[in-house]
């Protein structure tokens, strides 16, 4: 399914870029809520993260991404994915390594960064490995990325 979404996005987006960098570095601040599994007494729990991220564009429209940083309540977090972008809305999918989640994220660009909204789901809910997802079934976040270094627009 991910490959199909990526192929459709590439066809629809085409080469609609003006000038894009080959890489992009940013810092990101997120806030959100986790839906806890029944073994953790269910309900919702707040969370936050501060990440450093890097995108490497493999074409004008497609990028690979890795992020890592500090998070609450998991202390640390790391995620990696692939995405497509245009001068308008972008989209990415990937895996949060810890806490273990699959994610989909929508990007809304601004002058020197972008607003992100993501939804994540754990494949480990109700398994012997649910601790790897820190007891969460789903995570919903909203965050902002600020371009840093050479990624900043002048």
Residue 149: CB atoms within 10 Å:
9
Flag whether pLDDT at 59 surpasses 80. Answer: yes
Whole-number pLDDT of residue 18: 44
pLDDT tens column, 96-136: 988 889 999 999 998 889 999 999 998 876 666 666 667 78
Question: How would you class 83 by CB atoms within 10 Å of its CB: exposed for 0-12, middle for 13-18, buried for 19 or more?
Answer: buried
* Angstrom distance (rounded) from CA 105 to CA 111: 19
Residue 51: CB atoms within 10 Å:
20
Q: Please, what are the domains in the chain?
A: 2-11+21-151 (2.40.160.20)
The band of 88, judged by pLDDT with boundaries at 50, 70 and 90, is: confident
Whole-number pLDDT of residue 146: 95
pLDDT tens column, 4-57: 444 444 444 444 444 545 889 999 999 999 988 766 677 899 999 999 999 999
Are residues 80 and 94 in contact, defined by beta-carbon separation less than 8 angstroms? yes
* Angstrom distance (rounded) from CA 7 to CA 28: 28
* Angstrom distance (rounded) from CA 80 to CA 97: 8
Flag whether pLDDT at 151 surpasses 50. Answer: yes
Beta-strand pair 113-121/136-147: antiparallel
Are residues 119 and 136 in contact, defined by beta-carbon separation less than 8 angstroms? no
pTM over 0.95: no
Whole-number pLDDT of residue 86: 84
């Amino acid at each position: 399914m991910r490959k199909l979404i990526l192929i459709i996005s590439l066809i629809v987006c085409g080469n609609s870029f003006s000038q894009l960098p080959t890489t992009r570095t940013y810092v990101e601040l997120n806030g959100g809520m986790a839906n806890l599994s029944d073994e953790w007494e269910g309900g919702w729990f707040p969370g936050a993260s501060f990440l450093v991220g890097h995108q490497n564009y493999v074409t004008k429209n497609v990028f690979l991404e890795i992020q890592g940083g500090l998070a609450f309540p998991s202390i640390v977090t790391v995620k990696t994915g692939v995405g497509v972008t245009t001068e308008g809305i972008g989209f990415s999918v990937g895996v949060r390594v810890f806490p273990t989640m699959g994610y989909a994220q929508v990007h809304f660009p601004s002058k020197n960064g972008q607003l992100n909204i993501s939804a994540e789901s754990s494949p480990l809910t109700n398994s012997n490995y649910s601790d790897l997802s820190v007891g969460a079934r789903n995570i919903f976040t909203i965050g902002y990325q600020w371009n840093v270094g050479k990624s900043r627009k002048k």
